[in-house]
Amino acid sequence: MSKALDGVRILDFTHVQSGPTCTQLLAWFGADVIKVERPGVGDITRGQLQDVKGADSLYFTMLNSNKRSITIDSKNPKGKEVLEALIKQCDVLVENFAPGALDRMGLTWAHVQSLNPRMIVASVKGFGPGPYADCKVYENVAQCAGGAASTTGFRDGIPLVTGAQIGDSGTGLHLALGIVAALFQRETTGRGQKVDAAMQDGVLNLCRVKLRDQQRLAHGPLKEYSQFGEGIEFGDAVPRAANDSGGGQPGRILKCKGWEQDGNAYIYFITQAPVWEKICDVIGEPGWKTDPDYAKPAARLPRLNEIFGRIESWTMAKTKFEAMQILNEYDIPCGPILSMKEIAEDESLYATGTLVRVPHPTRGEYITVGNPIKLSDSPTEVVRSPLLGEHTQEILRDVLGFNDAKVDEIQASGALGDAPQRIAAE
Ligand code: CAO
């Protein structure tokens, strides 16, 4: 079956997480992604957090599926020649170097355009233009600067970062959408364009409900926040709201049976207004259906601690899965707190391709997250990440059409590093 991005060729100059997330997604949709790596070194994550000695780390393998790897020293004149030849053959150049690094390689926007006016140049940076434009940025910096950390955690605790990589992977997703939009526009304009996604902006985009609340503060307390019911005054900035729901339907994380031993024996419970009467029946408080202190959402807001306390006495008598089964029968929105172990063992996620077991020649089989976006006419087959420089020769010959003599000349210049890694029989 064909793929959505068949025929699109990506020159992938990305490293670490944000950029690779983007190009992996494009590869899953069928683009030919050519990952350019520094000879002998490669993407720094190949060697970071290594769990199997001598093999590419999971950090690398889980972000670089379905790509080809070519090693090129971009600072070697012959290497630059290869890069420029690739720019002419590719549709998109994606990079997430530190600010200015691409220009220092000589690959300015103007130069890339002169080589290939149809080329789209897509970049992730930590910040957009402004006072911090030159800063190097990693995930947690973006979470802090994008408003996530100041609004995550407990009101009386320090700001917290979240485990979801909203700065890196989140911005990679934003960038991928920008690239696909630019490819679509190119259909009519015939021109490439620059696509920029700043990690601060990406995080802020995902935190927009907190900017909403910041503005609501000017008109009174945030009544759905627990602190309102606790009688604690609001300051002039949105406070951390622990596990309060970020929407108009109050929700909390509640203990379930076994919580004393199991740190994940909890359930998220949402007191959605349309199912309030069912909630009252399930937890054994039918009187709350008509009691004016509980019957209407506005009346419940100052009493959320009491209400969730009562619901918790019900959930604590059930496992999180028992509670979920009962609540789902009544259409009461809820979700078990799943550990990564439980997720990794959930065969239904493998059945949909959300989780995939991938064979690998040097590290053995590993689990990775498959494409979370399912296209009916463009199914994703996850292919293991490439070894460093695995496709160098193949790309020189097949994509650039170089003959043996040309390949040997470039190899001899040192621009490609050593001969590529050999792969044991797979
Ligand atoms: N051949 C020769 N040189 C190469 C090369 C190649 N194939 N690939 C990269 N390099 C060089 C770059 O040209 C750069 O050299 P100069 O500084 O001399 O110009 C150098 O490698 C280092 O690049 P870098 O500054 O991007 O890397 P770093 O490890 O110092 O910083 C990071 C990493 C992530 C902080 C920085 O790249 C960054 O801020 N990126 C933008 C934001 C971002 O994506 N952050 C997310 C990181 S996690 O996803």
Query: pLDDT tens, 254-272?
Result: 999 999 999 999 999 999 9
CA separation, residue 191 to residues 34, 47, 112, 114, 227 (Å):
21, 38, 12, 12, 53
Q: Which atom of ligand 1 is nearest to the CA of 100?
A: 19
Among 289, 306, 332, identify where a domain stops: 332
Ligand 1 centroid from CA 14, angstroms = 9
Of 36, 62, 97, best ligand 1 pocket probe by most atoms within 8 Å of the beta carbon: 97
Q: Which atom of ligand 1 is nearest to the CA of 101?
A: 19
Ligand 1 centroid from CA 95, angstroms = 9
Rounded to 5 degrees, φ, ψ at 403 are -90, 175
Question: Do residues 188 and 270 share a domain?
Answer: no
Please state the rounded mean pLDDT for residues 4-26. 98
CA-proximal residue: ligand 1, atom 28 (nearest): 98
Q: Quick check: is 13 in a domain?
A: yes
CA-proximal residue: ligand 1, atom 9 (nearest): 38
Question: Do residues 118 and 104 share a domain?
Answer: yes
Q: Is 175 in the pocket of ligand 1 (CB under 6 A)?
A: no
**CA–CA gap between residue 184 and residue 282 (Å, rounded):** 51
**CA–CA gap between residue 117 and residue 112 (Å, rounded):** 7
Question: Do residues 67 and 200 share a domain?
Answer: yes
Question: Do residues 75 and 30 share a domain?
Answer: yes
Q: Which atom of ligand 1 is nearest to the CA of 13?
A: 8
Question: Do residues 139 and 179 share a domain?
Answer: yes
Query: pLDDT tens, 189-226?
Result: 999 999 999 999 999 999 999 999 999 999 999 999 99
CB 250 within 8 A of CB 300: yes
List of residues 6+ apart from 270 with CB closer than 8 A: 245, 249, 250, 251, 332, 333, 334
Residue 368 has pLDDT above 50, yes or no: yes
CB 32 within 8 A of CB 68: yes
Q: Quick check: is 1 in a domain?
A: no
Residue 418 has pLDDT above 80, yes or no: no
Q: Quick check: is 338 in a domain?
A: no
CA-proximal residue: ligand 1, atom 15 (nearest): 101
Question: Do residues 229 and 104 share a domain?
Answer: no
Query: pLDDT tens, 379-394?
Result: 999 999 999 999 999 9
Of 136, 141, 168, 395, best ligand 1 pocket probe by most atoms within 8 Å of the beta carbon: 136
Ligand 1 centroid from CA 73, angstroms = 13
Q: Is 142 in the pocket of ligand 1 (CB under 6 A)?
A: no
Catalytic residues: 168
Domain harbouring 406, CATH code: 3.40.50.10540
List of residues 6+ apart from 73 with CB closer than 8 A: 38, 39, 79, 414, 415, 416, 417
Domain harbouring 219, CATH code: 3.30.1540.10
Among 332, 364, 389, identify where a domain stops: 332
Domain encompassing residue 351: 9-206+344-412
Question: Do residues 94 and 183 share a domain?
Answer: yes
Q: Which atom of ligand 1 is nearest to the CA of 39?
A: 7
Q: Quick check: is 388 in a domain?
A: yes
Q: Is 36 in the pocket of ligand 1 (CB under 6 A)?
A: yes
| pTM of the full structure | 0.96
Question: Do residues 316 and 293 share a domain?
Answer: yes
Ligand 1 centroid from CA 101, angstroms = 7
**CA–CA gap between residue 202 and residue 18 (Å, rounded):** 11
Ligand 1 centroid from CA 97, angstroms = 4
Residue 307 has pLDDT above 70, yes or no: yes
Q: Quick check: is 95 in a domain?
A: yes
CA-proximal residue: ligand 1, atom 23 (nearest): 97
Ligand 1 centroid from CA 44, angstroms = 10
Q: Quick check: is 422 in a domain?
A: no
Question: Do residues 66 and 177 share a domain?
Answer: yes
Total domain count for the chain? 2
Which region among 61-75, 373-387, 404-418 has the lowest average model confidence (pLDDT)?
A: 404-418
**CA–CA gap between residue 425 and residue 402 (Å, rounded):** 27
Q: Is 168 in the pocket of ligand 1 (CB under 6 A)?
A: yes
* H-helix or E-strand spanning residue 394: helix 392-398
Nearest to 22 by CA among 72, 94, 88: 94
Q: Percentage of the chain with pLDDT > 90?
A: 96
Q: Which atom of ligand 1 is nearest to the CA of 167?
A: 46
Q: Quick check: is 424 in a domain?
A: no
Residue 425 has pLDDT above 50, yes or no: no
Question: Do residues 41 and 56 share a domain?
Answer: yes
**Long-range contacts (CB closer than 8 Å, 24 or more residues apart) made by 105-112:** 105/74, 105/75, 105/80, 106/80, 107/74, 107/83, 109/194, 112/87
Q: Quick check: is 418 in a domain?
A: no
Question: Do residues 256 and 294 share a domain?
Answer: yes
pLDDT at 420: 53
**Longest distance between any two alpha carbons in the chain, whole Å:** 87
Q: Is the dihedral of CA 369, 370, 371, 372 positive or negative?
A: negative
Q: Is 193 in the pocket of ligand 1 (CB under 6 A)?
A: no
Among 269, 301, 332, identify where a domain stops: 332
Query: pLDDT tens, 35-64?
Result: 999 999 999 999 999 999 999 999 999 999
Question: Do residues 255 and 297 share a domain?
Answer: yes
**CA–CA gap between residue 306 and residue 404 (Å, rounded):** 77
